[in-house]
Amino acid sequence: MEITTVAHAPLWCVPRKRCLPSILSYYCWEPRVTRVTFVNKRKSAFVKNGFHASIFKLDATQGESEVIVDDNALPSDDTENLEVSNDELKESRIALSEARSRQEAIEKERDQLVEELARSEVKHQEYASIIKHNKELAIAELEAAKSLFKQTLQGSIDEKFALESKLVLEKQDAVELAVQVEKLAELAFQQATSHILEDAQLRVSAAETTAAEAAHRIEEQIKHVTEGTISSILDQSTRTINKALSAAEQANNHAEKAVSALSGGSNLLDEIAAVCSQNLGLQNAINGLESKLLVAEREIEKLRLDLEQALAQSKASDNRASAAEKALADLKELTQKHSTEREEKIKLLIDKMKNETAEREKAASEAFKVELAGIMAAVEAAKETAQLKDQAYERRFAALQRSLKASESAMELWRQRAEIAESILHGERSTGEENVRYPTMGGRIDLLTDDDSQKWKLLAEGPRREIPEWIARRISTICPKFPPRKANISEALSSNSLSLNLPKPDEVWSIVQEKPRDADMLVEHIIEREVIEKKRKALERALQRKTIKWERTPEETKLEPGTGTGREIVFQGFNWESWRRRWYAELAPKAKDLSQSGITAVWFPPPTESVAPQGYMPSDLYNLNSAYGSVEELKHCIEEMHIQDLLALGDVVLNHRCAQKQSPNGVWNIFGGKLAWGPEAIVCDDPNFQGCGNPSTGDIFHAAPNIDHSQEFVRRDIKEWLNWLRNDIGFDGWRLDFVRGFAGEYVKEYIEASNPAFAIGEYWDSLAYEGGNLCYNQDSHRQRIVNWINATGGTSSAFDVTTKGILHSALHNQYWRLIDPQGKPTGVMGWWPSRAVTFLENHDTGSTQGHWPFPREKLGQGYAYILTHPGTPVIFYDHFYDFGLRDTITELIEARRRGGIHCRSLVKIYHANNEGYVAKVDESLVMKLGHFDWDPFKENNLDGTWQKFVDRGSDYQIWLRQ
């Protein structure tokens, strides 16, 4: 036997008895190409003892190996028997022993293959179960995603209808506003015109009156002067005439005397001389009278000139009056012109407003259409995603099934190969197969009987996808040997040369395991599904943000400590007996329920260490391990509230503090802990604790030392403590206890320093009573509360104790108490609604103390009143969880939310008598208390379309505007 070996290629041969062809199993796993060539060479065969050997000559070259099989070496019927020497027989026996050892190795390899087959079957069963489970999970997730998307779509559709209704309402409001603006403009124009005309007429009439008065005065002066002059002239004339008559009489007497003298012998010449002298005197008197008459004439002429001047002035006044009339006419014309221009401007403005409204409506409609199209696109994308997901899972399942079948076929083939190899080694091949030739592919027996197998066609046609390099390296270290590419036996026997392009091990493994690569369709679908899922979630978040934005109003975004957002609903999260349990641990799980019910803020009990377990007698302010729980439980409870978007309001006691040590006089006035104050921190007019500070700025609380807030170090320590509660503990705002004990300006300083989200002061004062009955007028009571709020600069709100007290009597068929003489709500709500915190009961008035409990049968009406009116309502823990009013209160909160009621809402009261009470809050909600028959459609002064939202019969009813 002549054997030529190839480097790195072990060779062994097995002789067959009775001239069977020699078959060599040659294992060669070098990564180079092996070529098998059948040639006719010179025979060098020998036969001895029935053994025949075929000569194989193998030529090794660089890069490839060639196996040369000599067909002439095959046995024939004419071959002569050859003698074999003992050495050759020994060599054959050695070869046989080697063949047997190799047979044993093959059997071991077969056993290993069988074990691997069993393990592979177990793994494939596991893979099948995992695939089935993943498919079920995928289907469940798909169904959940579909249901969630349907819910989201339904919510979007509902929101669309709500927005359309809001849009219609806004359009109606805009039209009404335009009409009102037009009416107001017309009314303003008429009023302005009437005022101008009246002013002009008043001015003209005033001018006429002034001129008439001046003329009358001048005429009176002329009349008086003339009458005085004439009377003086008449008097002088009378006097002169009287003098003349007296002179004439004297002359007559003298004449008689003269006659008598003549007759009696008297001297006539003397008499005549006397008469002449008298005549001269009379002539002189007459001349004086003439001169006086001339003077009087001159005065009369002067008065005539004055009269002419007065007439000229009167004429000038008439001219001015005519000019004023002309100016009035011009003014009327100008006013008419301006009014016409103003009307045109108003019409243009109204047209512009209408156009802008139409454009906004159009833009809103287009935006909604775009959003709806986006939603529909998202729906379609989700559907496509679901379909692609189904298809991907189906393809993956089918691929894994194909992989499983391919693995089963491969294991079956290996089993067949093992059986064939075993039969060859034991000489169990049938005689009909003696002339079958098997090509040695690299020295390895390859018996492929299933020519039509589609599973092995994958191996024959090469891999479909690749895997990462690191997986290939790991596979090569674990399983370096894989079945070669399938070849057709007949072609291999008839062809002189067959090239074996075997796949690489990592490629074959990728086919069996169906590992997807980056460009694989399945990976692309998975990536696309993830992208669509992210887009869908982003769309949901955007829609949610838009919904919240649409529901918000400008008051919501404005955050002030006195009002919060303006839409706060406070929940008092404790009662007088809550300290008996680990209250923080019980309150924390209720955060989600409170948030879902519409609550926005939770009022916590006093957190500090206290002499009284309820917390209202604090001692060490920095020790928060109280009867309600530890500081860790308090922080956890506040965190739960914040997770549900709830504000945490801390109940802080600033008016008084319990001392921890006694002074040398035996008085408890020395404080311990971090804030170690002395008597200088206590007001000097506190009669029980010998304080050394300044007088109190408020009322004295006699049960504990009253703190002097006028001291700088006291205010500094309190501000640091409040900021510690805000920043380290997590409180968002304050409920300030007994604020009557110190001035409101100190509260303002504390609030400005700690910057809370919301602050409420407890200014508790007694209402006015007369003869045991509540007085109707409670203005002095609410004025004191408003004065305190004003002292804080509006930085804090206050409990509306006035409204609580009035409701006690008003809900017992005395609804007329709910309206004040100005037509506004009674209580602080009617004067300063944004700072009014309305409530029915708290830990002092109700619970086990029962100092001033609200009528239990009227709680529904009371909550209907405070939850539909302005201000900030407070809900008591006992009513919500213990009295069975949770659903009632939640329904009223929903009505408040839908009506958009906030702390500054406007109230118009229509009825308030013994039978009931009716009020419209803003323009969106109408509520009725009492048993009388009333609805919005019977009210003449109530416009709009209304739908009943809550109907509790004779207790209360609520309508919302459509």
Residues labelled catalytic: 737, 762
Strands 56-61 and 64-70 come out as antiparallel
Place of tokens 């009287």: 242
Rounded-to-integer distance, Cα 591 and Cα 867, Å = 21
Closest CA to 424 of 874, 20, 137: 20
Rounded-to-integer distance, Cα 75 and Cα 53, Å = 8
Opening angle at CA 724, ends 839 and 671, nearest 5: 90
Opening angle at CA 642, ends 640 and 643, nearest 5: 65
Rounded-to-integer distance, Cα 604 and Cα 569, Å = 14
> What does the buried/exposed string (b/e) look like for 327-336 if buried means 16 or more CB atoms within 10 Å of the residue's CB?
ebeebeeebe
Q: What are phi and psi of 602, to 5 degrees?
A: -120, 125
Contact 573, 646 (CB under 8 A): no
Residue 945: how many other CB atoms lie within 10 Å: 12
Contact 12, 100 (CB under 8 A): no
> What does the buried/exposed string (b/e) look like for 770-782 if buried means 16 or more CB atoms within 10 Å of the residue's CB?
eeeebeeebbebb
Q: How far is the CA of 130 from the CAs of 118, 134, 203, 593, 789, in angstroms? A: 18, 6, 104, 40, 69
**773, 778, 784, 785: CA torsion to nearest 10:** 100
DSSP assignment, residue 727? I
Rg (CA), the chain: 61
Contact 883, 574 (CB under 8 A): no
Residue 366: how many other CB atoms lie within 10 Å: 10
Residue 685: how many other CB atoms lie within 10 Å: 13
Residue 852: how many other CB atoms lie within 10 Å: 15
Contact 869, 829 (CB under 8 A): yes
Strand order in the sheet with 33-39: 33-39, 64-70, 56-61
Contact 339, 345 (CB under 8 A): no
Cβ neighbours of residue 776 under 8 Å, at least 6 residues apart? Answer: 817
> What does the buried/exposed string (b/e) look like for 51-80 if buried means 16 or more CB atoms within 10 Å of the residue's CB?
bbbbbbbbeeeeeebbbbbbeebbbeeeee
Q: How far is the CA of 955 from the CAs of 216, 901, 907, in angstroms? A: 76, 21, 20
CA neighbours within 13 Å on the CB side: how many for 792? 28
Q: Which string of DSSP letters, residue by residue, matches 928-944?
A: EEESS---GGG-TT--S
DSSP assignment, residue 503? P
